[in-house]
Amino acid sequence: MSYEQTKYWSVDNFSGSEENLQLIKEAALWITKGEVVAFPTETVYGLGANALDESAVKRIFEAKGRPSDNPLIVHISQIDQLDELVLEVPEVAKQLMEHFWPGPLTLIFKKKEAVAPSVTAGLDTVAVRMPDHPVARKLLDAAGVPVAAPSANLSGKPSPTTAMHVYHDLKGRIKGIVDGGQTGVGLESTVLDCQAAIPVLYRPGGVTKEDLEAVIGKVKVDPSLLSDDQTPLSPGMKYTHYSPAGTLYLVRDQDKISELVTEAKRDGKRVGVLTTVEGKGRYEEADVVVLCGSNKDLATVANGLYDSLRKFDEQEAEVIFSEVFSYEGLGIAIMNRLEKAAGGQSPL
């Protein structure tokens, strides 16, 4: 499906004004009509459709070019919306909802039949979260339906953290975009399955393993990257994601990056380096150097990661070497995204 024009509703710096509310209601109306609309959350921009409408959900997959066996997250604005989506809410899930909802935490539940089949990719479970973003909450309230929404980018590309990222990828492919400014966390939500005796972390995100364990005790981390012949048990577990056009390599030893850059340039490649403010001025031999935040504050790295990866495309980098980060706290989520962007290869 293609659109002559993708509508654009600007509510940046949302103030709750009547004008902004009317724009959000207009966007929500299109969702109730079965259309697909991009909107901001505190993590990344989502591409939303009515989670109870199978034909609407299929439009998400068509717009993104997303594989049909990759499940989606359903977004709600009110706790009581769980009643139409899930069979039961385990006690541990109730504890987590009390502490982290609204926020960047997705929980997996046994689903009800009302959920559109494409949302769950044939699984008997559904992933649900309540976003913590004023525009997202107002949009969901106005739509009055649970909204399935993966990240609003072409499948495999870096997730969008601004409305212009969405426009670049999806103009003419979706009904509209709600511009609510730059997102906050910058990485997709944490995904946790609470059904097992020990909850399983399927995707790290803004709510860290340490945060979860402070509330519910031990959390098991999934062995991680699935091979492409396995069924993903939650959104974000399968396929190469978040990738720039150039080939990305992760490098453990910072001292080795300059040598790798020189070798790639000798082969005639346009070379980029992803580093932090601490590495500023260190890789002058590279054609493109992008700073994605500070090692002293990994929240800044998370916030800037996807925008940084997109900058390499803007500068037409053919080969990119990236520094790596700690696997503790938010660093696990950052490395998860970088490893997927690098096609699952281990750091050099």
Residue spans per domain, the chain:
7-221, 247-341
What is the rounded distance in angstroms from the CA atom of residue 10 to the CA atom of residue 279? 36
Listing from the earlier edge strand, what are the strands of the sheet with 271-275? 247-251, 319-323, 271-275, 288-291
Name the binding residues for L-threonine. 43, 75, 129, 149, 189
- Pick the closest to residue 128 from 84, 70, 184 (CA basis): 84
Phi and psi at residue 247, to the nearest 5°: -80, 125
- CATH fold for the domain made of 247-341: Rossmann fold (3.40.50)
Phi and psi at residue 344, to the nearest 5°: 85, 0
Query: Matching CATH topology for 7-221 and 247-341?
Result: no
Name the binding residues. 43, 66, 70, 75, 125, 129, 149, 151, 159, 189, 203, 242
**Which ranges of the chain does DSSP label H, i.e. alpha helix?**
18-32, 54-64, 91-100, 117-120, 134-143, 163-170, 209-216, 254-266, 298-314, 330-341
What is the rounded distance in angstroms from the CA atom of residue 132 to the CA atom of residue 99? 13
The CATH number corresponding to 7-221 among 3.40.50.1100, 3.40.47.10, 3.90.870.10, 3.20.20.70 equals: 3.90.870.10
Give the chain's residues under pLDDT 70.
1, 224-241
Name the binding residues for ATP. 66, 70, 125, 151, 159, 203, 242
Can you give the pLDDT at residue 1? 62
Can you give the pLDDT at residue 224? 57
The answer to whether the Cα torsion of 10, 309, 156, 2 is positive or negative is positive
Cα–Cα distances in angstroms (integers) from residue 85 to residues 48, 97, 110, 137, 160, in the given order: 16, 15, 9, 18, 27
Angle formed by the axes of helices 209-216 and 91-100, nearest 10°: 120
Can you give the pLDDT at residue 226? 37
Please say whether the beta carbons of 206 and 63 come within 8 A.
no
Please say whether the beta carbons of 208 and 311 come within 8 A.
no
Please say whether the beta carbons of 284 and 261 come within 8 A.
no
Whole-prediction pTM value?
Answer: 0.93
